[in-house]
Amino acid sequence: MPTVTLIPGDGIGPEVAAATRRVVDALDCGIEWEVHAAGLPAIETHGSPLPEHVIASIVRNKVALKGPVTTPVGTGFRSINVVLRKDLDLFASVRPCHLYPGVDSRFESIDIVVIRENTEDLYEGIEFEQNSREQKKLRGYLKYMHGYALAPDAGVSIKPISVTASRAIVQFAFDFAKRQKRRKVTLGHKANIMKFSDGLWLETGERLAVDYRDVGFEAIHVDELAMGLAWIPNDFDVIVLPNLYGDIISDLCAGLIGGLGLAPGMNIGLDYAVFEPTHGSAPDIAGRGLANPVAMILSAVHMLRHIRMTSAAASLERAVEKVLADGHHRTADMRPTREPATTDEVANAIIEAL
């Protein structure tokens, strides 16, 4: 029987993870869970937000289902999400944005997949704090090499984009589009401004597109992409983006399909896969049973498909679809017309619909 590492996370994580576990257990497909704390709860119990044994568990099981984890702003520990993605080389973040019938949206149908590079770009964490010794050295170097006067009170983050990582993710996007019989791949960039990072990203994408003539391809400035998605989203199909643009655009696409509470996600590498909702730990609603569990339950649907439990995945997706379509059990974020349902009530309704 497959064993899956389950990381509930913090904030609303434990609530949506418990609901998802109940729903998957109700499928009776024999999944064993290995539960591990990460984030704030792990600091309390193990003195580290991402203890070694959590990574070891994913390496052993090859697949994990993860709730969101809080990242302190400005100071404190680095995002464990970024560390996990780097350590396990989960180079592709895949965020399917599908509008299910009955869900409130400005559009009638949406079916977009955002594929985001997960390992480099501004998320590398190469940073220089304002007025620090390191920043002063960098300032001296930039002045000497480029005649560039960096202000002492400027914080600096570096954006590396490599041919290797760009090729890997664009190839992944083309293969994904081909496998899923998708129309086209849209590559977003800002090569007119960042000639050496985004320029290289664009050039790598254009070169690869030649090998995939059976899949449509277009390159577009990321700002124009944002406008297009808000206006005529059905012009897009598979979108491939570097890390930061991918983070922002996938939240935009979540907004097209009913919000973050409905947006699943996964991080895929050659050896391991971690499934997690697009949303964060939502501290504003944590601990009150208000969180929408659907994003994490749909992430579990994709996990089941990944481990080839296709009929269990199909049953679960159908049950979610039924509950969303009948509209009787909706958490507050879905703007229900009646009394909002709790996290557990939504999970119960999905179990009943199985």
Residue ranges in contact with ligand NAI by CB under 6 A: 12, 16, 68-71, 81, 260-261, 276, 279-285, 291-292, 295, 331, 333
* Closest residue by Cα to residue 82 from 54, 46, 124: 124
- Exposure string of 12-31, with b = 16+ CB inside 10 Å and e = fewer, is bbbbbbbbbbbbbebbebeb
Tell me whether residue 119 or residue 281 sits nearer to ligand NAI (CB atom): 281
236/246 Cα distance (integer angstroms) = 14
| Residue 223 C-beta: closest distance to ligand NAI, Å | 21
- Exposure string of 191-214, with b = 16+ CB inside 10 Å and e = fewer, is beebeebbbbbbebbeebbeebee
Q: Which residue is nearest to ligand NAI (CB)?
A: 280
* Closest residue by Cα to residue 20 from 54, 64, 81, 60: 64
| Residue 182 C-beta: closest distance to ligand NAI, Å | 25
Is residue 204 within 8 Å of residue 166, measured between CB atoms? Answer: yes
Tell me whether residue 15 or residue 198 sits nearer to ligand NAI (CB atom): 15
Tell me whether residue 333 or residue 345 sits nearer to ligand NAI (CB atom): 333
| Residue 227 C-beta: closest distance to ligand NAI, Å | 23
Say which residues have a Cβ less than 8 Å from residue 15's Cβ, sequence separation at least 6.
286, 287, 289, 291, 293, 343
Is residue 171 within 8 Å of residue 205, measured between CB atoms? Answer: no
Tell me whether residue 208 or residue 260 sits nearer to ligand NAI (CB atom): 260
Tell me whether residue 72 or residue 101 sits nearer to ligand NAI (CB atom): 72
| Residue 192 C-beta: closest distance to ligand NAI, Å | 29
Residue 98: count of CB within 10 angstroms of its CB: 18
Coil/strand/helix, residue 127: strand
Tell me whether residue 197 or residue 278 sits nearer to ligand NAI (CB atom): 278
| Residue 206 C-beta: closest distance to ligand NAI, Å | 31
| Residue 152 C-beta: closest distance to ligand NAI, Å | 29
Coil/strand/helix, residue 81: helix
293/277 Cα distance (integer angstroms) = 9
Tell me whether residue 19 or residue 170 sits nearer to ligand NAI (CB atom): 19
| Residue 70 C-beta: closest distance to ligand NAI, Å | 4
Is residue 142 within 8 Å of residue 152, measured between CB atoms? Answer: no
| Residue 138 C-beta: closest distance to ligand NAI, Å | 26
Is residue 122 within 8 Å of residue 244, measured between CB atoms? Answer: yes
338/327 Cα distance (integer angstroms) = 9
Tell me whether residue 71 or residue 171 sits nearer to ligand NAI (CB atom): 71
Tell me whether residue 13 or residue 233 sits nearer to ligand NAI (CB atom): 13
| Residue 218 C-beta: closest distance to ligand NAI, Å | 28
Exposure of 168 in the CB half-sphere (CA atoms within 13 A): 17
